[in-house]
Amino acid sequence: MFEKLIPYDAAYTILDAYIQYYHVFKRITKRAKIRFEQRDWVGIQEDAKFRMTIYRTSVGETTQKLLHFLGTERNTHEVWVQIKEMFLEEIFNFNTRNIAETYFNSIYRHSHIGLGADEDLMFVNATGTYREFRSAIPIYHTFYLGSHFENTLQQLFSCFPFDAPMANLERDVFYIAETIRRKLSTYKRDFRHIRLEVLKSVFYRNKGAYIVGRMYLDDRIHPFIIPLAHENEGIYADTLLLEPNDISSIFSYNRAYFLVDTDIASEMVDFLKSIMPSKSLGELYNSIGFEKHGKTVLYRELLRHLDASADKFVIAPGVKGMVMTVFTLPSYSMVFKMINDKFRPPKMVTEQEVKSKYDLVSAHDRVGRMADSHMFENLTLPLNRFDPALIEELKKECASKITINQDTIEIKHMYIEKKMIPLDMYLKSATLQEAEDAIADYGRAIKDMAAVNIFPGDMLLKNFGLTRLNRVVFYDYDEIVFLTDCVFRKIPEPRSYEDEWASEPWYSVGENDIFPEEFSKFLIGRSDVRKMFLEKHADLYDVKYWQDVQERLRNGEIVTVFPYRKRLRFKNQFGKGILDGTAQKALDEKETEWPENK
Protein backbone atom coordinates (compact mmCIF):
# COMPACT_ATOMS: atom_id res chain seq x y z
CA MET A 1 0.00 0.00 0.00
CA PHE A 2 2.87 2.38 0.82
CA GLU A 3 5.60 0.93 -1.36
CA LYS A 4 6.81 4.44 -2.16
CA LEU A 5 7.89 4.76 1.47
CA ILE A 6 10.25 1.77 1.30
CA PRO A 7 13.33 3.97 0.64
CA TYR A 8 12.36 6.20 3.57
CA ASP A 9 11.88 3.25 5.92
CA ALA A 10 15.20 1.80 4.75
CA ALA A 11 16.94 5.13 5.35
CA TYR A 12 15.47 5.32 8.82
CA THR A 13 16.58 1.76 9.57
CA ILE A 14 20.15 2.89 8.91
CA LEU A 15 19.66 6.12 10.85
CA ASP A 16 18.22 4.33 13.87
CA ALA A 17 21.17 1.92 13.89
CA TYR A 18 23.61 4.83 13.63
CA ILE A 19 22.00 6.56 16.61
CA GLN A 20 22.24 3.37 18.66
CA TYR A 21 25.89 2.91 17.66
CA TYR A 22 26.71 6.51 18.55
CA HIS A 23 25.01 6.09 21.93
CA VAL A 24 27.23 3.11 22.78
CA PHE A 25 30.30 4.97 21.48
CA LYS A 26 29.53 7.97 23.69
CA ARG A 27 28.84 5.81 26.73
CA ILE A 28 32.24 4.16 26.45
CA THR A 29 34.01 7.52 26.21
CA LYS A 30 32.06 8.93 29.15
CA ARG A 31 33.04 6.08 31.45
CA ALA A 32 36.74 6.61 30.73
CA LYS A 33 36.71 9.32 33.42
CA ILE A 34 35.34 6.84 35.94
CA ARG A 35 37.97 4.28 34.97
CA PHE A 36 40.71 6.89 35.47
CA GLU A 37 39.33 7.92 38.86
CA GLN A 38 39.25 4.27 39.97
CA ARG A 39 42.64 3.50 38.42
CA ASP A 40 40.99 0.76 36.39
CA TRP A 41 43.72 0.53 33.75
CA VAL A 42 42.64 -2.87 32.48
CA GLY A 43 39.10 -1.54 32.05
CA ILE A 44 40.31 1.45 30.00
CA GLN A 45 42.29 -0.81 27.68
CA GLU A 46 39.38 -3.22 27.29
CA ASP A 47 37.03 -0.33 26.52
CA ALA A 48 39.41 0.98 23.86
CA LYS A 49 39.42 -2.43 22.17
CA PHE A 50 35.67 -2.92 22.57
CA ARG A 51 34.94 0.47 21.03
CA MET A 52 36.70 -0.66 17.85
CA THR A 53 34.39 -3.68 17.56
CA ILE A 54 31.03 -1.97 18.02
CA TYR A 55 31.13 -0.26 14.63
CA ARG A 56 31.74 -3.48 12.73
CA THR A 57 29.10 -5.34 14.78
CA SER A 58 26.52 -2.59 14.27
CA VAL A 59 27.16 -2.42 10.51
CA GLY A 60 26.94 -6.20 10.15
CA GLU A 61 23.68 -6.53 12.06
CA THR A 62 22.08 -3.52 10.37
CA THR A 63 23.03 -4.74 6.91
CA GLN A 64 21.34 -8.08 7.47
CA LYS A 65 18.22 -6.39 8.78
CA LEU A 66 18.13 -3.96 5.87
CA LEU A 67 18.65 -6.58 3.16
CA HIS A 68 15.85 -8.68 4.63
CA PHE A 69 13.56 -5.64 4.61
CA LEU A 70 14.41 -4.67 1.03
CA GLY A 71 13.99 -8.20 -0.29
CA THR A 72 14.05 -8.24 -4.09
CA GLU A 73 14.79 -4.50 -4.16
CA ARG A 74 18.14 -4.91 -2.37
CA ASN A 75 20.17 -4.47 -5.57
CA THR A 76 17.94 -1.95 -7.33
CA HIS A 77 19.99 1.10 -8.26
CA GLU A 78 17.12 3.59 -8.15
CA VAL A 79 15.98 2.37 -4.73
CA TRP A 80 19.44 2.99 -3.28
CA VAL A 81 19.58 6.43 -4.87
CA GLN A 82 16.36 7.27 -3.03
CA ILE A 83 17.62 5.72 0.22
CA LYS A 84 20.70 7.93 0.09
CA GLU A 85 18.64 11.05 -0.68
CA MET A 86 16.22 10.40 2.18
CA PHE A 87 19.03 9.56 4.60
CA LEU A 88 20.73 12.86 3.80
CA GLU A 89 17.43 14.67 4.23
CA GLU A 90 17.10 13.21 7.73
CA ILE A 91 20.68 13.94 8.85
CA PHE A 92 21.21 17.27 7.14
CA ASN A 93 20.94 19.15 10.42
CA PHE A 94 22.79 16.55 12.50
CA ASN A 95 25.85 17.91 14.27
CA THR A 96 27.53 14.57 13.46
CA ARG A 97 26.38 14.47 9.86
CA ASN A 98 29.85 13.60 8.60
CA ILE A 99 30.09 10.55 10.89
CA ALA A 100 26.56 9.47 9.89
CA GLU A 101 27.48 9.69 6.19
CA THR A 102 30.44 7.38 6.77
CA TYR A 103 28.16 4.96 8.60
CA PHE A 104 25.82 4.96 5.59
CA ASN A 105 28.78 4.25 3.30
CA SER A 106 29.74 1.26 5.44
CA ILE A 107 26.20 -0.13 5.21
CA TYR A 108 26.18 0.27 1.43
CA ARG A 109 29.61 -1.34 1.01
CA HIS A 110 28.62 -4.19 3.32
CA SER A 111 25.42 -4.68 1.29
CA HIS A 112 27.31 -4.75 -2.01
CA ILE A 113 30.42 -6.82 -1.41
CA GLY A 114 32.93 -6.50 -4.22
CA LEU A 115 31.72 -3.17 -5.57
CA GLY A 116 33.79 0.00 -5.50
CA ALA A 117 32.80 3.52 -4.52
CA ASP A 118 29.76 4.92 -6.35
CA GLU A 119 29.06 8.65 -6.13
CA ASP A 120 25.36 8.14 -6.85
CA LEU A 121 24.88 5.64 -4.05
CA MET A 122 27.48 6.69 -1.47
CA PHE A 123 28.82 9.84 0.16
CA VAL A 124 32.08 9.67 -1.77
CA ASN A 125 32.47 13.43 -1.44
CA ALA A 126 31.62 15.43 1.65
CA THR A 127 28.24 17.18 1.59
CA GLY A 128 29.70 20.24 3.31
CA THR A 129 32.58 21.53 5.34
CA TYR A 130 30.68 20.54 8.51
CA ARG A 131 31.94 23.77 10.04
CA GLU A 132 28.38 24.99 9.94
CA PHE A 133 27.92 22.95 13.11
CA ARG A 134 29.11 24.77 16.19
CA SER A 135 28.22 24.31 19.82
CA ALA A 136 25.77 26.80 21.28
CA ILE A 137 28.46 27.48 23.88
CA PRO A 138 32.22 27.07 23.26
CA ILE A 139 33.70 23.59 23.65
CA TYR A 140 36.58 25.17 25.58
CA HIS A 141 37.15 27.20 28.72
CA THR A 142 38.85 30.58 28.32
CA PHE A 143 41.37 31.91 30.82
CA TYR A 144 43.63 34.98 30.95
CA LEU A 145 46.91 34.37 32.73
CA GLY A 146 47.43 37.93 33.92
CA SER A 147 50.40 38.67 36.12
CA HIS A 148 49.70 35.90 38.66
CA PHE A 149 49.76 32.62 36.76
CA GLU A 150 49.06 30.58 39.86
CA ASN A 151 45.59 32.07 40.44
CA THR A 152 44.52 31.35 36.88
CA LEU A 153 45.87 27.82 37.01
CA GLN A 154 43.98 27.14 40.22
CA GLN A 155 40.85 28.26 38.40
CA LEU A 156 41.71 26.02 35.45
CA PHE A 157 41.98 22.90 37.63
CA SER A 158 38.68 23.73 39.33
CA CYS A 159 37.02 23.20 35.93
CA PHE A 160 38.18 19.58 35.89
CA PRO A 161 36.89 17.96 39.08
CA PHE A 162 37.64 14.28 39.68
CA ASP A 163 36.10 11.86 42.14
CA ALA A 164 39.58 11.23 43.46
CA PRO A 165 41.94 13.50 45.41
CA MET A 166 44.69 15.59 43.88
CA ALA A 167 48.05 14.53 45.30
CA ASN A 168 49.47 18.05 45.64
CA LEU A 169 47.69 20.69 43.59
CA GLU A 170 49.74 23.58 44.96
CA ARG A 171 52.95 21.88 43.84
CA ASP A 172 51.52 21.13 40.39
CA VAL A 173 50.37 24.71 39.90
CA PHE A 174 53.84 25.96 40.80
CA TYR A 175 55.50 23.57 38.34
CA ILE A 176 53.14 24.56 35.51
CA ALA A 177 53.48 28.28 36.21
CA GLU A 178 57.27 28.03 36.33
CA THR A 179 57.32 26.07 33.05
CA ILE A 180 55.22 28.77 31.38
CA ARG A 181 57.52 31.50 32.72
CA ARG A 182 60.57 29.75 31.31
CA LYS A 183 58.85 29.37 27.97
CA LEU A 184 57.85 33.03 27.84
CA SER A 185 61.30 34.19 28.90
CA THR A 186 62.67 32.93 25.60
CA TYR A 187 60.54 35.52 23.81
CA LYS A 188 61.95 38.36 25.93
CA ARG A 189 58.63 40.15 26.00
CA ASP A 190 56.00 40.94 28.60
CA PHE A 191 52.94 38.78 27.99
CA ARG A 192 50.49 39.87 30.65
CA HIS A 193 47.47 39.24 28.45
CA ILE A 194 48.04 35.65 27.42
CA ARG A 195 44.82 33.82 26.63
CA LEU A 196 44.35 30.12 27.28
CA GLU A 197 41.61 28.11 25.58
CA VAL A 198 41.31 24.65 27.11
CA LEU A 199 38.97 21.95 25.82
CA LYS A 200 36.29 20.97 28.31
CA SER A 201 36.68 17.29 27.40
CA VAL A 202 39.60 15.40 28.93
CA PHE A 203 41.45 12.90 26.71
CA TYR A 204 42.02 9.44 28.22
CA ARG A 205 44.36 6.67 27.07
CA ASN A 206 45.88 3.80 29.01
CA LYS A 207 47.00 5.20 32.40
CA GLY A 208 47.00 8.86 31.39
CA ALA A 209 44.54 11.73 31.17
CA TYR A 210 45.30 14.84 29.14
CA ILE A 211 44.00 18.38 29.49
CA VAL A 212 44.33 19.81 25.97
CA GLY A 213 44.37 23.46 25.03
CA ARG A 214 46.06 26.26 23.17
CA MET A 215 47.87 29.37 24.34
CA TYR A 216 47.57 32.64 22.41
CA LEU A 217 50.65 34.87 22.42
CA ASP A 218 49.50 37.89 20.45
CA ASP A 219 48.34 36.34 17.18
CA ARG A 220 50.36 33.14 17.53
CA ILE A 221 48.94 29.84 18.75
CA HIS A 222 51.01 27.51 20.93
CA PRO A 223 49.84 24.06 22.09
CA PHE A 224 49.21 23.56 25.78
CA ILE A 225 48.77 20.03 27.19
CA ILE A 226 48.84 18.88 30.81
CA PRO A 227 49.25 15.10 31.15
CA LEU A 228 47.73 13.78 34.37
CA ALA A 229 48.67 10.59 36.19
CA HIS A 230 46.90 8.80 39.02
CA GLU A 231 48.84 6.79 41.57
CA ASN A 232 48.26 5.74 45.18
CA GLU A 233 48.76 9.26 46.56
CA GLY A 234 46.28 10.78 44.11
CA ILE A 235 46.06 12.56 40.77
CA TYR A 236 48.89 14.85 39.73
CA ALA A 237 50.17 16.80 36.74
CA ASP A 238 53.10 14.87 35.32
CA THR A 239 54.35 17.66 33.05
CA LEU A 240 53.33 20.56 30.82
CA LEU A 241 53.89 20.19 27.08
CA LEU A 242 54.29 23.35 25.03
CA GLU A 243 56.40 22.26 22.04
CA PRO A 244 54.72 21.21 18.75
CA ASN A 245 56.83 18.06 18.35
CA ASP A 246 55.93 16.86 21.85
CA ILE A 247 52.24 17.42 21.15
CA SER A 248 52.54 15.66 17.79
CA SER A 249 54.00 12.64 19.58
CA ILE A 250 51.04 12.55 21.98
CA PHE A 251 48.65 12.36 19.02
CA SER A 252 50.89 10.11 16.92
CA TYR A 253 49.25 7.77 14.39
CA ASN A 254 51.40 5.05 15.97
CA ARG A 255 49.50 5.22 19.25
CA ALA A 256 46.15 3.92 20.44
CA TYR A 257 43.18 6.22 19.96
CA PHE A 258 41.95 8.43 22.79
CA LEU A 259 38.73 7.98 24.70
CA VAL A 260 37.30 11.51 24.69
CA ASP A 261 33.73 12.71 24.99
CA THR A 262 32.75 14.97 22.11
CA ASP A 263 29.42 16.16 20.73
CA ILE A 264 30.58 17.66 17.43
CA ALA A 265 33.58 15.75 16.16
CA SER A 266 34.36 18.22 13.37
CA GLU A 267 34.55 21.08 15.86
CA MET A 268 36.98 19.23 18.10
CA VAL A 269 39.08 18.23 15.09
CA ASP A 270 39.26 21.87 13.99
CA PHE A 271 40.50 22.81 17.47
CA LEU A 272 43.15 20.08 17.38
CA LYS A 273 44.18 21.10 13.88
CA SER A 274 44.91 24.61 15.17
CA ILE A 275 47.63 23.25 17.50
CA MET A 276 48.83 20.49 15.14
CA PRO A 277 48.70 21.98 11.64
CA SER A 278 50.97 19.26 10.23
CA LYS A 279 48.44 16.55 11.09
CA SER A 280 45.92 15.56 8.45
CA LEU A 281 42.22 15.71 9.30
CA GLY A 282 42.04 11.95 8.88
CA GLU A 283 44.72 11.44 11.53
CA LEU A 284 42.89 13.70 13.96
CA TYR A 285 39.56 11.90 13.49
CA ASN A 286 41.42 8.67 14.14
CA SER A 287 42.97 10.07 17.31
CA ILE A 288 39.57 10.75 18.90
CA GLY A 289 38.21 7.32 18.01
CA PHE A 290 36.38 7.90 14.74
CA GLU A 291 38.77 5.73 12.74
CA LYS A 292 36.16 4.76 10.14
CA HIS A 293 35.50 8.39 9.35
CA GLY A 294 39.24 8.99 9.46
CA LYS A 295 39.50 6.40 6.70
CA THR A 296 36.79 8.23 4.72
CA VAL A 297 38.69 11.51 5.08
CA LEU A 298 41.94 9.79 4.06
CA TYR A 299 40.25 8.51 0.88
CA ARG A 300 38.93 11.97 0.05
CA GLU A 301 42.36 13.49 0.68
CA LEU A 302 43.89 10.93 -1.67
CA LEU A 303 41.42 11.80 -4.43
CA ARG A 304 42.14 15.51 -4.01
CA HIS A 305 45.88 14.87 -4.06
CA LEU A 306 45.60 12.87 -7.29
CA ASP A 307 43.68 15.74 -8.87
CA ALA A 308 46.33 18.25 -7.79
CA SER A 309 49.43 16.23 -8.73
CA ALA A 310 50.91 14.53 -11.79
CA ASP A 311 53.57 12.09 -10.54
CA LYS A 312 53.16 8.33 -10.82
CA PHE A 313 52.85 5.49 -8.34
CA VAL A 314 56.19 3.66 -8.22
CA ILE A 315 57.72 0.72 -6.41
CA ALA A 316 58.73 1.87 -2.93
CA PRO A 317 62.48 2.17 -2.27
CA GLY A 318 64.07 -0.36 0.03
CA VAL A 319 64.56 -4.11 0.28
CA LYS A 320 61.81 -6.02 -1.49
CA GLY A 321 59.59 -7.89 0.95
CA MET A 322 58.70 -11.56 0.78
CA VAL A 323 55.08 -11.06 1.85
CA MET A 324 54.02 -7.60 0.73
CA THR A 325 54.46 -5.50 -2.40
CA VAL A 326 54.84 -1.87 -1.42
CA PHE A 327 54.46 1.15 -3.68
CA THR A 328 54.28 4.86 -3.17
CA LEU A 329 53.39 8.16 -4.78
CA PRO A 330 56.51 10.34 -4.30
CA SER A 331 54.47 13.51 -3.69
CA TYR A 332 52.17 11.82 -1.15
CA SER A 333 52.78 11.13 2.54
CA MET A 334 51.45 7.56 2.54
CA VAL A 335 52.58 4.16 1.25
CA PHE A 336 50.43 1.40 -0.22
CA LYS A 337 50.92 -2.26 0.72
CA MET A 338 49.44 -5.32 -0.97
CA ILE A 339 49.71 -8.94 0.15
CA ASN A 340 51.48 -11.08 -2.44
CA ASP A 341 49.70 -14.08 -3.94
CA LYS A 342 52.61 -16.33 -3.00
CA PHE A 343 55.27 -15.95 -0.30
CA ARG A 344 58.86 -16.82 -0.93
CA PRO A 345 60.64 -19.14 1.53
CA PRO A 346 61.27 -19.11 4.41
CA LYS A 347 57.93 -17.36 5.00
CA MET A 348 55.32 -19.91 6.08
CA VAL A 349 52.33 -17.70 6.91
CA THR A 350 49.08 -17.62 4.95
CA GLU A 351 47.31 -14.58 3.55
CA GLN A 352 44.59 -14.86 6.18
CA GLU A 353 47.20 -14.98 8.93
CA VAL A 354 48.79 -11.78 7.60
CA LYS A 355 45.39 -10.07 7.63
CA SER A 356 44.78 -11.25 11.20
CA LYS A 357 48.13 -9.76 12.27
CA TYR A 358 47.09 -6.36 10.91
CA ASP A 359 43.79 -6.68 12.77
CA LEU A 360 45.70 -7.53 15.95
CA VAL A 361 47.91 -4.45 15.69
CA SER A 362 44.94 -2.22 14.89
CA ALA A 363 43.18 -3.25 18.11
CA HIS A 364 46.31 -3.40 20.30
CA ASP A 365 48.09 -0.66 22.19
CA ARG A 366 50.60 0.43 19.54
CA VAL A 367 52.60 2.31 22.20
CA GLY A 368 53.99 4.70 19.59
CA ARG A 369 56.01 1.91 17.98
CA MET A 370 53.69 0.20 15.49
CA ALA A 371 52.35 1.90 12.40
CA ASP A 372 48.61 2.47 12.13
CA SER A 373 47.10 1.33 8.84
CA HIS A 374 43.79 1.49 6.99
CA MET A 375 42.56 -1.46 4.97
CA PHE A 376 40.87 -0.63 1.65
CA GLU A 377 38.93 -3.01 -0.55
CA ASN A 378 37.93 -2.58 -4.19
CA LEU A 379 39.80 0.70 -4.54
CA THR A 380 39.83 2.18 -8.05
CA LEU A 381 42.76 4.34 -9.14
CA PRO A 382 43.66 5.93 -12.51
CA LEU A 383 45.79 3.59 -14.60
CA ASN A 384 47.81 6.38 -16.18
CA ARG A 385 49.23 7.28 -12.75
CA PHE A 386 51.00 3.90 -12.43
CA ASP A 387 54.60 3.48 -13.55
CA PRO A 388 54.89 0.59 -16.06
CA ALA A 389 57.47 -1.16 -13.85
CA LEU A 390 55.00 -1.11 -10.96
CA ILE A 391 52.24 -2.53 -13.15
CA GLU A 392 54.50 -5.42 -14.09
CA GLU A 393 55.42 -5.97 -10.44
CA LEU A 394 51.76 -6.09 -9.42
CA LYS A 395 50.96 -8.54 -12.23
CA LYS A 396 53.81 -10.74 -11.06
CA GLU A 397 53.21 -10.63 -7.31
CA CYS A 398 49.55 -9.66 -6.75
CA ALA A 399 47.72 -10.68 -9.93
CA SER A 400 44.67 -12.01 -8.09
CA LYS A 401 44.14 -8.67 -6.36
CA ILE A 402 44.12 -6.35 -9.36
CA THR A 403 41.84 -5.83 -12.34
CA ILE A 404 43.22 -3.62 -15.12
CA ASN A 405 40.61 -1.83 -17.17
CA GLN A 406 41.00 0.63 -20.02
CA ASP A 407 41.52 3.68 -17.78
CA THR A 408 41.62 2.33 -14.24
CA ILE A 409 43.14 -0.30 -12.02
CA GLU A 410 40.91 -1.90 -9.39
CA ILE A 411 42.68 -3.14 -6.26
CA LYS A 412 40.84 -5.82 -4.33
CA HIS A 413 42.68 -5.48 -1.01
CA MET A 414 45.31 -3.03 0.19
CA TYR A 415 46.68 -1.30 3.30
CA ILE A 416 47.62 2.37 3.45
CA GLU A 417 50.17 3.53 6.02
CA LYS A 418 52.15 6.65 6.80
CA LYS A 419 55.37 6.93 4.82
CA MET A 420 58.63 6.40 6.72
CA ILE A 421 62.32 6.03 5.88
CA PRO A 422 63.35 2.35 6.20
CA LEU A 423 65.86 2.14 9.02
CA ASP A 424 68.39 0.12 7.03
CA MET A 425 68.36 2.75 4.26
CA TYR A 426 68.66 5.58 6.78
CA LEU A 427 71.72 4.05 8.42
CA LYS A 428 73.58 3.71 5.12
CA SER A 429 73.97 7.47 4.82
CA ALA A 430 73.61 8.52 8.47
CA THR A 431 76.37 10.32 10.31
CA LEU A 432 77.82 8.60 13.35
CA GLN A 433 75.67 10.72 15.69
CA GLU A 434 72.52 10.13 13.61
CA ALA A 435 73.23 6.40 13.56
CA GLU A 436 73.75 6.35 17.32
CA ASP A 437 70.46 8.14 17.98
CA ALA A 438 68.53 5.91 15.58
CA ILE A 439 69.98 2.63 16.82
CA ALA A 440 69.33 3.62 20.43
CA ASP A 441 65.70 4.30 19.56
CA TYR A 442 65.52 1.02 17.63
CA GLY A 443 66.33 -0.82 20.85
CA ARG A 444 63.81 1.25 22.77
CA ALA A 445 61.18 0.41 20.16
CA ILE A 446 61.74 -3.32 20.69
CA LYS A 447 61.51 -2.85 24.47
CA ASP A 448 58.38 -0.69 24.24
CA MET A 449 56.64 -3.35 22.15
CA ALA A 450 57.73 -6.04 24.59
CA ALA A 451 56.23 -4.01 27.43
CA VAL A 452 52.79 -4.30 25.82
CA ASN A 453 53.21 -8.02 25.11
CA ILE A 454 54.30 -7.79 21.46
CA PHE A 455 57.31 -9.58 19.97
CA PRO A 456 57.97 -8.41 16.39
CA GLY A 457 59.33 -11.76 15.24
CA ASP A 458 61.42 -10.44 12.38
CA MET A 459 63.50 -7.69 13.97
CA LEU A 460 65.63 -6.87 10.94
CA LEU A 461 66.32 -3.18 10.38
CA LYS A 462 64.42 -3.19 7.08
CA ASN A 463 61.19 -3.82 8.98
CA PHE A 464 61.52 -0.59 10.98
CA GLY A 465 61.25 2.98 9.77
CA LEU A 466 61.94 6.51 10.95
CA THR A 467 59.09 8.99 11.25
CA ARG A 468 59.22 12.72 10.57
CA LEU A 469 60.33 13.19 14.18
CA ASN A 470 63.05 10.51 13.81
CA ARG A 471 61.17 8.05 15.96
CA VAL A 472 61.71 4.37 15.13
CA VAL A 473 58.51 2.49 14.31
CA PHE A 474 57.85 -1.14 13.33
CA TYR A 475 55.72 -1.80 10.25
CA ASP A 476 56.10 -5.45 9.15
CA TYR A 477 53.51 -7.57 10.94
CA ASP A 478 53.47 -11.00 9.30
CA GLU A 479 55.56 -12.60 12.08
CA ILE A 480 54.27 -10.59 15.03
CA VAL A 481 53.24 -12.64 18.09
CA PHE A 482 52.31 -12.11 21.73
CA LEU A 483 55.48 -12.05 23.80
CA THR A 484 53.94 -14.39 26.39
CA ASP A 485 53.52 -17.05 23.67
CA CYS A 486 57.27 -17.13 22.98
CA VAL A 487 59.74 -19.52 24.60
CA PHE A 488 63.02 -17.71 25.21
CA ARG A 489 65.92 -20.12 25.50
CA LYS A 490 69.68 -20.09 25.87
CA ILE A 491 71.58 -22.09 23.25
CA PRO A 492 72.84 -25.32 24.89
CA GLU A 493 76.56 -25.89 25.06
CA PRO A 494 77.86 -28.08 22.18
CA ARG A 495 78.43 -31.69 23.20
CA SER A 496 81.44 -32.10 20.98
CA TYR A 497 83.70 -30.46 18.40
CA GLU A 498 81.46 -31.86 15.66
CA ASP A 499 78.40 -30.23 17.25
CA GLU A 500 80.11 -26.85 17.31
CA TRP A 501 80.87 -26.90 13.57
CA ALA A 502 77.76 -28.73 12.38
CA SER A 503 75.61 -27.00 9.70
CA GLU A 504 72.44 -27.91 11.60
CA PRO A 505 71.64 -27.22 15.29
CA TRP A 506 72.55 -30.06 17.65
CA TYR A 507 69.55 -29.20 19.80
CA SER A 508 65.80 -29.30 19.22
CA VAL A 509 64.03 -26.07 18.23
CA GLY A 510 60.32 -25.64 18.93
CA GLU A 511 57.96 -23.52 16.83
CA ASN A 512 57.90 -20.67 19.37
CA ASP A 513 61.51 -20.95 20.55
CA ILE A 514 63.56 -17.73 20.49
CA PHE A 515 67.33 -17.57 21.14
CA PRO A 516 68.19 -13.93 22.00
CA GLU A 517 71.96 -14.50 21.87
CA GLU A 518 71.58 -15.11 18.12
CA PHE A 519 70.26 -11.57 17.55
CA SER A 520 73.78 -10.20 17.30
CA LYS A 521 74.47 -12.33 14.21
CA PHE A 522 71.77 -10.93 11.94
CA LEU A 523 70.12 -7.76 13.29
CA ILE A 524 72.71 -5.14 12.33
CA GLY A 525 75.18 -5.18 9.46
CA ARG A 526 77.43 -2.18 10.14
CA SER A 527 80.01 -3.15 12.74
CA ASP A 528 80.18 0.36 14.23
CA VAL A 529 76.40 0.50 14.56
CA ARG A 530 76.32 -3.02 15.99
CA LYS A 531 78.79 -1.92 18.66
CA MET A 532 76.60 1.09 19.54
CA PHE A 533 73.59 -1.18 19.90
CA LEU A 534 75.48 -3.55 22.17
CA GLU A 535 76.56 -0.67 24.40
CA LYS A 536 73.02 0.62 24.81
CA HIS A 537 70.88 -2.53 24.63
CA ALA A 538 73.02 -5.52 25.55
CA ASP A 539 70.16 -6.79 27.70
CA LEU A 540 68.19 -7.65 24.54
CA TYR A 541 70.75 -10.43 23.90
CA ASP A 542 70.08 -11.87 27.35
CA VAL A 543 67.39 -14.53 27.73
CA LYS A 544 66.76 -13.37 31.30
CA TYR A 545 65.59 -9.93 30.13
CA TRP A 546 62.85 -11.47 28.02
CA GLN A 547 61.82 -13.98 30.66
CA ASP A 548 61.56 -11.19 33.26
CA VAL A 549 59.28 -9.17 30.96
CA GLN A 550 57.14 -12.27 30.38
CA GLU A 551 56.82 -12.86 34.12
CA ARG A 552 55.68 -9.30 34.73
CA LEU A 553 53.13 -9.50 31.94
CA ARG A 554 51.79 -12.81 33.23
CA ASN A 555 51.48 -11.29 36.69
CA GLY A 556 49.15 -8.66 35.25
CA GLU A 557 51.43 -5.63 35.46
CA ILE A 558 50.56 -2.79 33.08
CA VAL A 559 53.56 -0.88 31.89
CA THR A 560 53.82 2.89 31.76
CA VAL A 561 55.26 3.90 28.40
CA PHE A 562 55.36 7.67 28.35
CA PRO A 563 54.33 9.34 25.07
CA TYR A 564 56.78 12.13 25.79
CA ARG A 565 60.41 12.34 26.81
CA LYS A 566 60.94 11.38 30.43
CA ARG A 567 63.22 14.34 31.07
CA LEU A 568 60.13 16.54 30.61
CA ARG A 569 58.42 15.02 33.63
CA PHE A 570 58.16 17.47 36.53
CA LYS A 571 59.81 15.03 38.92
CA ASN A 572 62.90 15.07 36.69
CA GLN A 573 62.84 18.81 36.06
CA PHE A 574 62.11 20.00 39.57
CA GLY A 575 62.49 17.05 41.90
CA LYS A 576 66.19 16.75 41.12
CA GLY A 577 66.90 20.18 39.75
CA ILE A 578 67.32 21.11 36.10
CA LEU A 579 69.07 18.29 34.29
CA ASP A 580 72.26 18.80 32.35
CA GLY A 581 72.66 17.47 28.82
CA THR A 582 74.18 14.15 29.90
CA ALA A 583 71.36 13.43 32.35
CA GLN A 584 68.73 14.38 29.79
CA LYS A 585 70.19 11.98 27.25
CA ALA A 586 70.33 9.18 29.80
CA LEU A 587 66.66 9.66 30.60
CA ASP A 588 65.69 9.77 26.94
CA GLU A 589 67.39 6.44 26.36
CA LYS A 590 65.13 4.71 28.86
CA GLU A 591 61.55 5.46 27.97
CA THR A 592 59.75 2.41 29.37
CA GLU A 593 59.02 2.30 33.07
CA TRP A 594 57.35 -0.51 34.98
CA PRO A 595 55.03 0.84 37.68
CA GLU A 596 56.25 0.55 41.23
CA ASN A 597 52.69 0.19 42.50
CA LYS A 598 50.75 -2.74 41.11
Active site residues: 372
Residues β-bridged to residue 195: 144, 216
Each residue's pLDDT tens digit, 121-134: 899 998 888 887 88
Beta 487-488 vs 513-514: how paired, if at all? Answer: parallel
pLDDT at 410 over 90: yes
pLDDT at 342 over 90: yes
In this model, does residue 62 exceed pLDDT 90?
yes
464-466 sheet: strands from edge to edge: 421-422, 464-466, 472-474
- 3-state class (DSSP) for residue 193: coil
Can you give the length of the chain in residues? 598
Q: What is the pLDDT of residue 263?
A: 92
Band (494; pLDDT cuts 50, 70, 90): confident
Q: Work out the percent of the chain whose per-residue pLDDT is above 70.
A: 93
582: which strand partners?
none
Q: DSSP assignment of 78-135, as one string? A: HHHHHHHHHHHHHHTT-TTHHHHHHHHHHHHHHHSTT----TTTS--S-SS-STT---
The sign of the torsion formed by the CA atoms of 282, 284, 285, 290 equals positive
Residues 6+ apart with CB under 8 A from 432: 528
Residue 224 is classified by DSSP as: E
- Give the confidence band of 191 by pLDDT, cuts at 50, 70, 90: low
Q: If we measure between CA atoms, which residue out of 404, 373, 400 comes closest to residue 386?
A: 404
276-312 burial by CB neighbour count: b if 16+ within 10 A, else e?
beebbbbbbbbbbbbbbbbbbbbbbbbeeebeeeeeb
268 pLDDT above the threshold of 80 = yes
Residue, of 17 and 118, whose pLDDT is higher = 17
pLDDT for 539 beyond 60: yes
pLDDT of residue 499: 64
Whether the Cβ atoms of residue 210 and residue 225 lie closer than 8 Å to each other:
yes
Whole-number Å distance between alpha carbons of 441 and 254: 15
Domain 309-419 carries which CATH code? Answer: 3.30.200
Backbone angles phi, psi at 386, to 5 degrees: -105, 130
Prior bond of 161 cis (ω within 30°): no
Model confidence over 221-267: pLDDT tens digits? 999 999 999 999 999 999 999 999 999 999 999 999 999 999 999 99
Rounded Cα distance between 374 and 386, Å, is: 21
Most confident of 219-223, 481-485, 571-575: 481-485
- DSSP lists the bridge partners of residue 212 as 225
